[in-house]
């Protein structure tokens, strides 16, 4: 089977996403570029523990199923549109992480409460406008929030993280959820001090080769 290693990696990433508490049940989804063209994505509504490599679908960027049976994730469009628009991205992780989702329900972006915000590519982690799941409108809102960024929240929904590979996309999702938890806890006590723009400019410069 083509892309067998990538298929195994997508399943492993989905399982790890749930094991880490970033996601619950079948609510999230994972994708990566396929060597044969298009992308590999988790199927709709299937428990990750039951997945075999052949259960993943290879789809085109227009959603056409190129390999596999059944339906791709209902959020296939977000994955396809991100990978089509961002040539540097090789993988997308979407999850309903608790603290990210809590902030998204408040329509709150994550400001520069910690310098590690820079790991997502900017001085904040934006919250995309709300749109119904699985729609072109949600995909466009996500792309707008991801402009010059590698992660965003989705209003009343969850979080997206992208990376050059699955390992990096998942690691970024972990970091973003940690930042969301720190911010949420800080606002329980008082008003967090936000790092100024000039400091974040310095930090972002330092982050240019972070993790390289």
Q: Which of 75, 137, 165, 199 is catalytic?
A: 75
75 has catalytic annotation? yes
Lookup: tokens for 155: 């209003």
For residue 77, what are the contacts with CB-CB under 8 A and spacing of at least 6? 63, 134, 135, 136, 138, 139
Strand locations in 36-105, DSSP E? 39-41, 57-59, 65-67, 91-95
Whole-number Å distance between alpha carbons of 45 and 182: 31
Instruction: Based on DSSP, count helices (H) and strands (E) in the chain, helices before strands.
Output: 6, 8
Angle between helical axes of 98-105 and 166-189 (0-180°, round to 10): 60
Query: What is the largest distance, in Å, between two alpha-carbon atoms of the chain?
Result: 55
3-state DSSP call for residue 87?
coil
Active site residues: 75
């Amino acid at each position: 089977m083509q892309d067998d290693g990538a298929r195994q990696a997508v399943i492993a990433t989905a399982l790890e996403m749930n094991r880490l508490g970033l996601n619950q049940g079948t609510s999230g989804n994972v994708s990566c570029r396929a060597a044969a063209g298009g992308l590999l994505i988790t199927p709709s509504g299937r428990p990750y523990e039951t997945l075999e490599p052949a259960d993943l679908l290879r789809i085109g960027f227009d959603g056409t199923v190129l390999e596999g049976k059944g339906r791709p994730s209902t959020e296939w469009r977000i994955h396809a549109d991100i990978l089509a628009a961002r040539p540097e991205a090789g993988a997308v992780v979407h999850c309903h992480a608790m603290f990210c989702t809590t902030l998204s329900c408040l329509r709150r972006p994550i400001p520069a409460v910690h310098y590690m915000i820079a790991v997502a590519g900017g001085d904040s982690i934006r919250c995309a406008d709300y749109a119904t799941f699985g729609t072109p409108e949600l995909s466009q809102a996500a792309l707008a929030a991801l402009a010059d960024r590698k992660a965003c929240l989705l209003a009343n929904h969850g979080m997206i993280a992208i990376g050059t590979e699955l390992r990096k996309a998942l690691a970024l999702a972990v970091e973003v959820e940690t930042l969301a938890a720190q911010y949420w806890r800080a606002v329980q006590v008082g008003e967090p001090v936000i790092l100024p723009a000039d400091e974040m400019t310095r930090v972002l410069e330092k982050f240019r080769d972070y993790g390289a």
